[in-house]
Structure 1
Amino acid sequence: MSNLSDADIAQLKGHLQHASIACAERCLYQSAKWAAEMLNSFESSDENSDTEVESPMSESNDTPLHSQPGILDINPHEARLDAKDLHKYLLAKTFFDCREFDRCAGVFLPHTLPKIPYTSSTAPSQDTPRTQPSSSKGKGKAAAPGKSASLTNTLLNTSQKALFLSLYAKYHAGEKRKDEESEMLLGPADTGITVNKELTGISATLDEWFALRRVDQDSAENGGGWLEYLYGIVLAKGKNEELAKEYLIRSVHLYPFNWGAWEELGDLIGTVEELAAVLPLLPKNMMTYMFHIYQSQELFQSTQDLENSIVRLQMIFPQSAFLATQRALIAYHAKDFDGASQTFAQILRAHPLRLNALDHYSNILFVLGNRPLLSFLAQLTTSIDAFRPETCIVAGNFLSLTSQHEKSVIYFRRALTLDRSFASAWTLMGHEYVEMKNTHAAIESYRRAVDSNRRDYRAWYGLGQTYEFLGMWQYSLFYYQRAAALRPYDGKMWSAVGACMARIGKLDNAIQAYKRALVAGSYYEGGGGGSFDSGESGGMAGLGGGVLDPETLFQIACLYERMYDKEECAAYMELVIAQEEGVSSTRDDELEGNASFRSSTASAPDAAGNGFSGVGVTATTSKARMWLARWSFSKGDYQRSAELANELCQDGVDVEDAKALVRDVRARMEADNA
Structure 2
Amino acid sequence: MGLLTAKDILQFREQLQVAIVKCSERCLYQSAKWAAELLDSLPSPSPADLLKAQSSQTTNIHNVFAPNLDPVEAALEEKELSKYLLAKSFFDCKEFDRCAAVFLPESLLSGLLSKGDESASPATGKGKANASAPSDAELPEISQKSLFLALYAKVISGEKRKDEDSEMVMGPHDLGTIKNNQLLVVSRFLTRWFAERKHDNGEFATNQGFLEYLYGMVLVKEKNDDAALEFLMQSVHLFPWNWGAWLEITNLVSRVEQLNKVAPHLPQNIMSFIFHAHASVNLYQQAQPLAASLNDLLSIFPTSSFLLTCKALLNYHSKDLLGAEQDFSHILALHPQRLDALDHYSNILYVLNLRPKLAFVAHLCSSIDKFRPESCVVIGNYYSLLSQHEKAVQYFRRALTLDRTCLSAWTLMGHEYVELKNTHAAIESYRRAVDVNRRDYRAWYGLGQTYEMLEMHAYALWYYKKAAGLRPWDAKMWQAVGCCLQKMGQEQDGIKALKRALLADSYYDTSANSFGSSGDRMGQMDPEVLFQIAGMYATLGQAQEAKAYMELCMAQEYGGAANAEAAGVGDSSAIHPDSPGGGSDGEGDGGARGGGTTGEGTGVTVATSKARMWLAKYAMHAEDYETANRLATELCQDGVEVEEAKALIREARSRMEQGNMVE
Which bin holds the TM-score, normalised by the shorter protein?
Answer: 0.7 to 0.9
After TM superposition, give the deviation of residue 607 of structure 1 in Å: 9.5
8 Å Cα contact 1:491/1:521 also seen in 2: yes
Question: Does residue 1:640 correspond to 2:627, yes or no?
Answer: yes
Q: How does 1:167-186 map onto structure 2 within 5 Å?
A: 167-186=151-170
Question: Does residue 1:110 correspond to 2:105, yes or no?
Answer: yes
Distance of 2:519 and 2:172 partners within structure 1 = 42
1:267 corresponds to which letter in structure 2? N
After TM superposition, give the deviation of residue 103 of structure 1 in Å: 1.5
Distance of 2:527 and 2:133 partners within structure 1 = 76
Q: How does 1:170-249 map onto structure 2 within 5 Å?
A: 170-215=154-199, 220-249=204-233
Aligned to 1:578: 555
Question: Does residue 1:666 correspond to 2:646, yes or no?
Answer: no
Distance of 1:473 and 1:86 partners within structure 2 = 64
Question: Does residue 1:33 correspond to 2:10, yes or no?
Answer: no
Distance of 2:36 and 2:292 partners within structure 1 = 24
8 Å Cα contact 1:106/1:113 also seen in 2: no
Distance of 2:238 and 2:547 partners within structure 1 = 64
After TM superposition, give the deviation of residue 462 of structure 1 in Å: 1.1
Question: Does residue 1:351 correspond to 2:351, yes or no?
Answer: no
The farther-off stretch of 658-667 and 340-349 is: 658-667
Q: 2:88 aligns with which of 86, 93, 97?
A: 93
Map Cα deviations across residues 593-642 of structure 1 (whole Å, 9 max, x no partner): 75343665856766974533211112211111111111122222223222
After TM superposition, give the deviation of residue 590 of structure 1 in Å: 5.3
Q: How does 1:350-499 map onto structure 2 within 5 Å?
A: 350-499=334-483
The farther-off stretch of 602-611 and 652-661 is: 602-611
Question: Does residue 1:161 correspond to 2:145, yes or no?
Answer: yes
Aligned to 2:611: 624
Distance of 1:618 and 1:576 partners within structure 2 = 10
8 Å Cα contact 2:506/2:593 also seen in 1: no
2:454 corresponds to which letter in structure 1? L
2:76 corresponds to which letter in structure 1? L
After TM superposition, give the deviation of residue 147 of structure 1 in Å: 7.2
Aligned to 1:561: 538
Distance of 2:202 and 2:275 partners within structure 1 = 31
After TM superposition, give the deviation of residue 667 of structure 1 in Å: 3.2
Question: Does residue 1:23 correspond to 2:16, yes or no?
Answer: no
TM-score by length of 2: 0.88
2:616 corresponds to which letter in structure 1? A
Distance of 2:203 and 2:623 partners within structure 1 = 91
After TM superposition, give the deviation of residue 110 of structure 1 in Å: 2.0
After TM superposition, give the deviation of residue 57 of structure 1 in Å: 8.4
1:148 partner SS: coil
Which consecutive aligned stretches of 4+ in structure 1 deviate over 6 angstroms post-superposition? Answer: 60-67, 69-73, 113-116, 216-219, 603-608
Distance of 2:657 and 2:397 partners within structure 1 = 71
Map Cα deviations across residues 247-281 of structure 1 (whole Å, 9 max, x no partner): 11111111110000000110111121221111111
Distance of 2:193 and 2:109 partners within structure 1 = 22
Larger Rg belongs to: 1
8 Å Cα contact 1:392/1:412 also seen in 2: yes
Map Cα deviations across residues 556-598 of structure 1 (whole Å, 9 max, x no partner): 1111111111111111111111111123546469554753436
Q: 1:80 aligns with which of 62, 75, 80?
A: 75
8 Å Cα contact 2:139/2:193 also seen in 1: no
Distance of 2:367 and 2:176 partners within structure 1 = 32
- Over 3 Å counting, the alpha-carbon distance change for 1:585 and 1:594 in structure 2 is closer
8 Å Cα contact 2:555/2:563 also seen in 1: no
8 Å Cα contact 1:396/1:412 also seen in 2: yes
- Over 3 Å counting, the alpha-carbon distance change for 1:632 and 1:607 in structure 2 is closer
2:3 corresponds to which letter in structure 1? N
- Over 3 Å counting, the alpha-carbon distance change for 1:598 and 1:614 in structure 2 is farther
1:487 corresponds to which letter in structure 2? R
Distance of 1:621 and 1:363 partners within structure 2 = 30
Distance of 2:386 and 2:621 partners within structure 1 = 51
Map Cα deviations across residues 92-114 of structure 1 (whole Å, 9 max, x no partner): 11111111111222222224679
Structure 1 residue runs of 5 or longer lacking an equivalent are 117-138, 527-540
After TM superposition, give the deviation of residue 643 of structure 1 in Å: 2.1
8 Å Cα contact 1:75/1:221 also seen in 2: no
2:307 corresponds to which letter in structure 1? L
After TM superposition, give the deviation of residue 364 of structure 1 in Å: 1.2
Q: 2:521 aligns with which of 531, 544, 555?
A: 544
Aligned to 1:595: 574
Q: 2:643 aligns with which of 640, 656, 661?
A: 656
After TM superposition, give the deviation of residue 68 of structure 1 in Å: 5.4
2:306 partner SS: helix
Q: 1:148 aligns with which of 124, 131, 135?
A: 135
1:252 partner SS: helix
- Over 3 Å counting, the alpha-carbon distance change for 1:333 and 1:482 in structure 2 is same
Distance of 2:502 and 2:631 partners within structure 1 = 26
1:257 partner SS: coil
Distance of 2:231 and 2:324 partners within structure 1 = 35
Question: Does residue 1:322 correspond to 2:322, yes or no?
Answer: no
TM-score by length of 1: 0.87
8 Å Cα contact 2:17/2:64 also seen in 1: no
Aligned to 1:511: 495
- Over 3 Å counting, the alpha-carbon distance change for 1:441 and 1:114 in structure 2 is farther
8 Å Cα contact 1:19/1:32 also seen in 2: yes
Question: Does residue 1:292 correspond to 2:276, yes or no?
Answer: yes
Distance of 1:65 and 1:596 partners within structure 2 = 73
Map Cα deviations across residues 301-324 of structure 1 (whole Å, 9 max, x no partner): 222221211111112112211111
Aligned to 1:131: none
8 Å Cα contact 2:523/2:597 also seen in 1: no
2:317 corresponds to which letter in structure 1? H
8 Å Cα contact 2:407/2:436 also seen in 1: yes
Aligned to 1:134: none
Aligned length: 627
